[in-house]
Structure 1
Amino acid sequence: YFYPNNDFSDESSFAKYPRGYKKEDKMVWRRENVDIVVKMLRDTIKSVKPFMKFGISPYAVWRNLRDDPKGSDTKSYGYTNYDHLHADILKWMESGWLDYILPQLYFNIGYPAADFTVLAKWWRDYSAGTPVYGGLGTYRLDANSKIEAWRTPLEIKNQALMLREMDNYQGVCYFNAKNLKDNKLGVNSVFKELYSSPAIVPQLRGFETTPPAVPEGAVMSIKGETVNFKWKGEALPKGNSSIEKCNSERAYYYLVYKFKKGETPNFSKGESILTLTGETGFSIEAVQAKEYDFYVSALDRLYNESNAVKFNQVK
């Protein structure tokens, strides 16, 4: 993970590949090493799979304000990205090398040395237009925590709600999945409240925004207690598929909506999403279909969405 810290045995590498740097500039040399890797990694990924989103999840503190006027008002003096891990995250964002950034904001609101609110605002203000996902630390939840805030999942809820109100934040990620699986301190009740409706992945800057073609031949038929939906399209590739095919502007998923009969369709309402599928058909129980009209749209692998078309009922 970048460099483990300043105390790292790389004297032989520095002597062999100094690239013109003097001994007193070794920290700069290290940061340039990481810069080279990050830039090379991005360029390589984009040359093979331009649809791939390349991002990094760094420690929460780039630098402290004490050491840099651009730093955050924090006191993480023994551990920062720039001074200890030799990762100049700010440069990467300003250079446009990242499709997104996911800072590990694993501190509670009001924590004296590294306040969640202070850090969240710093990443918002210094992201240089790079979309931000906030990393929230569900692993910190503990009924016996020395920090009172972590004894209840309300801390996670308050953090997520705070980030929803901040520009540049595209969403949040939780570390780690085991806490959700184990429903740590009942945290899943918070998630049910925060995410009561389905949603699709938001678009990121710098990617193709042309949607795939509108699905054709969308029909529904009732057979007994079952309603069958089908449309024309290319089903999701099974197993290994060629890079060229994966890169093509084709429908990769389909999104099916349902609206009450007579209701004006509003496709921005997540609660109207019935299903997301990579197939070109699916079925539901007939009792679920009587009072609804149904529509289907196509999504490419970047979640650019076509216009939706209404299903016609056939016998």
Structure 2
Amino acid sequence: QELSSIVSSFDAISKAFSLLGSHFMAHAYCQIRCGLQRYELHSVDVGASSKEALNGMAGFLPTNAVSVARYILVNGDHPPGIVDILSNPLQVLIMKVASLPLISPRAARRLVMRHRVRSIADIPKVTFLTRPQRACLQLSPQPLSRKLASKLIDCIQRDLPPDNIAIPCGAFRRRHAQIPFLFLIIVSSSFECPVLNITRSSLTVVDVLRQNSLECEVIVEYDDARYRVRLRQTSFEHRHFAVMNATGSDEFVRRWRWRARDLGFTVGNDDRLYRNGAEIAPATSERALFAMMGIEYIAPRFRDAFPIDGTTTALPMMRSWSFRPYPPPRRVAFKHPIIKHTANLTVS
């Protein structure tokens, strides 16, 4: 009964955040609620009492989710005020929950917009759509290679321990259509978890290319397709640097390291950034990391062939509005009727 009240509290908080427009926080609360529901069903199957279930929750869920659940339990069945949550260290705990991968606010807004547009478009009387809604409708579906890569990432995330999170980088983050190579950053609370042991139940490892204490690169076979998968393990504090370093193409990363060296920075192989021999405090976001180094922020979809500081390349149009990271939608050819006007009109 206590677990059910906690689950209902998380459900109410997620709905409140979604009404306020904070879809990222609502998604985080929904993930904690799903984890608690899974554990509640597990405790019912085992036949444990409510007190034993609460005590055993720490061994089943991530530590951050357990502390959040206990906070809700101590403060009563009703969810605390939204203002108290936003001004509380509880928000930091929620952002660190790594039971399932969190989507970005931009992706959450895009999902909500797409759902609303499709619900509007189903009504035949509504013919007027705003420009962002029309743009959402024009988004082409993911190609087959990208769908297979998404399923493969889901399988790897499901097989990881509950306190780990897999962040896709490389070509997947640059929104490429054909993805034969996956680069995943595994964010974990400790470096003792068996991330580098790639004997997964849902994957078939064809070959192990290389493996060390931080990285492993294998070839896996999934759904009649072979992928080269590289897993790199990092800590929660240095995840932004690891993701930034693994997102761009080889040319982009090479020029980015040259630029960092010219500015006096030292890029370590352990996902740390040094200057004058001292380690720099981890940045709060990827954009803050670019700003801290004095480099102009470049979006992930433009990190394919465009280098740092506007140097000329073979693809100068990638930063212009004519470049789109997804293929344009196919349009049906429509011929407008040609109205022939006579030169001499006689009015009777």
TM-score by length of 2: 0.23
Bigger helix share:
2
Bigger strand share:
1
TM-score by length of 1: 0.25
- If asked which structure has higher relative contact order (CA below 8 Å, sep 6+), I would say 1
